[in-house]
Amino acid sequence: MAPVVDRGERVVLNYRSSQTVHTPGARTVEEVCAQLGIEPKYIVKSLLYITKEGPVMVLIRGDHEVNENKLASILTEPRLATPEEVKEILGVDVGFIGPVDVKIRKVADNAVRNMEGFVVGANMPDHHIVGVSLEDIGDVEFYDIRMVSKGDICPNCGEEINIRNAIEVGHIFKLGTRYSESMGVYFTDRDGERKPVIMGSYGIGPGRIMASAVELYGTENSMIWPKSISPFDVHIIDLIMEGDEIYDGLISAGFDVLWDDRQESAGVKFHDAELIGIPIRVVIGKHWAEDKVEVQDLIRGEVKIVHKANLINLLKEALK
């Protein structure tokens, strides 16, 4: 294998000229890398898309993925070709197609522009071409068409990009003048000209807020509501059916209380409490003979045994 050279943003395999190599059964990037002893970033994947204008070959670095939303801003209704369509149009199976000597439109991600001596499919079974340059593949249009990856450099601040999971909890829509014109909502500008109001809307989804809370605070087997949106302040898990005094005292003190006084086993009650997710639990059980209860603060991960006389003050502090 030719030596690898990294030159800043450029990705180079130091082949002196292109050559076709036998890669039996190597259809995926991982399989090609294993046979050639290289990393995915030295491969250019060739993907055939079907569009309103006809077939288009999309080229992207082996360690990147196509962002089809970006691609749709360039091509009209693009969809990935089926294996049967690939065979019919290019005469070779998926995994071995490449851009050399292919007479269809080619669209490449900008990162491909910075590659030299890369690897592509040879358009023949069980073969790839190494040492390919941009001149070998002819006319190519370059666009930003890939998914952002961890470690990419932000074009604005120059720092590395970190990828985090997120959920949309709100949205803003620019409505323009469509509704203001139909409803006759106009204003007079400083020049005395009558114009339609430019409208917009925004919204926050309660269901998505709930889903976000579960993602942030829940565990594999339980749900924990943040105290600010929990449906109750306190969940009493009564294991000995002696919770009347505690329940009445908390209600009188202004707490919203869920009292589990069912004739069920401790296992059932604790299992249900995990699913309900009230962040503060008061367990009435083995410490009751000493006039004490167990207080579990799930958000802070704290468990305390407190005298029932001190319970209200402790809960007020915990709920701040």
Fold classified for 4-143: YbaK protein (3.90.960)
pLDDT value of position 171: 86
Task: Write the CB contacts of 130 (distance below 8 Å, at least 6 apart in sequence).
Answer: 2, 13, 15, 18, 19, 21, 36, 117, 119
Contact 85, 50 (CB under 8 A): yes
For tokens 């005395």, the residue is 192
User: Measured between alpha carbons, how far is 267 from 29 in angstroms, rounded to an integer?
Assistant: 50
- Nearest to residue 49, comparing CAs of 76, 78, 89? 78
- Nearest to residue 235, comparing CAs of 284, 169, 171, 301? 284
pLDDT value of position 10: 66
What confidence tier does 15 reach under pLDDT thresholds 50, 70, 90?
Answer: low
What confidence tier does 221 reach under pLDDT thresholds 50, 70, 90?
Answer: confident
For tokens 């007479």, the residue is 103
pLDDT value of position 219: 84
Task: Write the CB contacts of 285 (distance below 8 Å, at least 6 apart in sequence).
Answer: 237, 239, 240, 266, 294
Q: Give the architecture (CATH level 2) of 234-318.
A: 3-Layer(aba) Sandwich (3.40)
Residue type, 203: G
In this structure, of 154-158, 247-251, 279-283, the range with the lowest mean pLDDT score is 154-158
Q: Examine the pLDDT at 155 and tell me if it is beyond 90.
A: no
Each residue's pLDDT tens digit, 97-148: 999 999 999 999 999 998 999 999 999 999 999 999 999 999 999 999 999 8
Quick one: what percent of the chain has pLDDT higher than 90? Answer: 76
pLDDT value of position 4: 41
First vs last Cα of the chain: how many Å apart?
65
pTM of structure: 0.58
Both tokens of 138, joined, read: 């002819």
Domain ranges of the chain: 4-143, 170-204, 234-318
pLDDT value of position 3: 41
Please give the average per-residue pLDDT across 175-199, as a whole number. Answer: 94
Task: Write the CB contacts of 147 (distance below 8 Å, at least 6 apart in sequence).
Answer: 64, 65, 66, 67
Residue type, 183: M
**DSSP per residue over 65-96, as a string?**
-B-HHHHHTTSSS-EEPPHHHHHHHHSS-TTS
pLDDT value of position 11: 67
